[in-house]
Amino acid sequence: MLEVKVSLKRIVIFVVIPILLIFLVRLGMWQLHRAEQGASIYEQFDRETQLPALDSSSLNGHLDDVRFRWIELQGKYLSSRQFLLDSMTYEGQAGYHVLTPFAVNDGVSWVLVNRGWVLADPDRRVLPEVSVSEIPRVIRGMAESLPQPGLSLSTPMNLMPWPQVVLFPSFEELEIRFEQSLIPYQLLLDSNLPDGFSREWKPRALPPERHIGYAIQWFSFAGVLAFMVIALWARSRTRLNDEIGR
């Protein structure tokens, strides 16, 4: 029976705990890697938003070429066909992002303009008033991708009247609903322009400081565990020496 207890103790000390230590250290390293990625995104955001605005000729490019760049377009909103992007939060409150199609003056291009965040009614059957004038205008927005869920679920889009509530749609799904091709990214409407809602645009990535904080936590857990292992090892060595000295 004693041999079984000793064997289990050895398994814990020499197998389980080292594996756990490696796991905690790898989590810390992963968070540091995420911090580097986040810092790169925030640096790109600060750099690109300071550049002069692009015009409609940039719409044919890939998002990677224009992400976080301001783009100025002439055209008009299509108020009768709007989407409410669900599960968006602002200052801790649940609501929607209002996605309004904008027909560019070239007569071909449609781009989704995110006009900002609106509060959701406690009764989700009651939708916010988001209509906008369809007069010709010039808008300015920042190029960005649509938000994506942590877990992608395939859910068919319903055919409810406009504005339609959607949850993490793809551009392909939106194009089917519009029966119209779209520029494959959204424009985040400049907060200085009218006909928008709450707008405080920033990268969706966590600030690097948060990831560094998480990394310190994981490394701290690993350090505490390593200290416990050393203490147990020293204690067992002391007992062994005492038994030998008897």
Range of the domain at 228: 16-42+208-245
pLDDT at 179: 84
Percent with pLDDT over 90 in the chain: 50
> What's the structural domain count of the chain?
2
Q: Are residues 88 and 147 in the same domain?
A: yes
Q: Are residues 109 and 165 in the same domain?
A: yes
Q: Are residues 38 and 131 in the same domain?
A: no
CB crowding 45-84: b at 16 or more within 10 Å, else e: beeeeeeeebebebbeeeeeebbbbbbbbebbbbbebbbb
Q: Are residues 118 and 171 in the same domain?
A: yes
What are the start-end ranges of the H helices in the chain? 2-11, 17-48, 63-66, 171-178, 208-245
pLDDT at 152: 44
Q: Could you tell me if residue 2 is inside a domain?
A: no
The larger pLDDT score, comparing residue 155 to residue 68, is at 68
What whole-number distance in Å separates Cα of residue 30 and Cα of residue 23? 10
Contact yes or no for 124/133 (Cβ under 8 A):
no
Q: Could you tell me if residue 117 is inside a domain?
A: yes
| Predicted TM-score of the model (pTM) | 0.78
Most confident of 11-15, 95-99, 165-169: 95-99
Half-sphere exposure of 180 (CA within 13 A, CB side): 14
Q: Are residues 152 and 224 in the same domain?
A: no
C-alpha gyration radius of the chain: 27
Report how far apart, in Å, the C-alpha atoms of 209 and of each of 92, 107, 149 are. 20, 45, 23
What whole-number distance in Å separates Cα of residue 22 and Cα of residue 205? 27
Q: Are residues 82 and 157 in the same domain?
A: yes
Q: Are residues 143 and 75 in the same domain?
A: yes
The larger pLDDT score, comparing residue 162 to residue 10, is at 162
Q: Could you tell me if residue 6 is inside a domain?
A: no
Q: Are residues 83 and 30 in the same domain?
A: no
Q: Are residues 75 and 181 in the same domain?
A: yes
Instruction: Give the model's confidence band at 240: pLDDT under 50 very low, under 70 low, under 90 confident, else very high.
Output: low
Angle at 77 between CA 75 and CA 81, to 5 degrees: 140
Q: For tokens 């992400």, what's the residue?
A: 67
Phi-psi region of 233 (alpha: psi -120 to 50; beta: other; left: phi over 0): alpha
Half-sphere exposure of 30 (CA within 13 A, CB side): 7
Q: Are residues 101 and 183 in the same domain?
A: yes
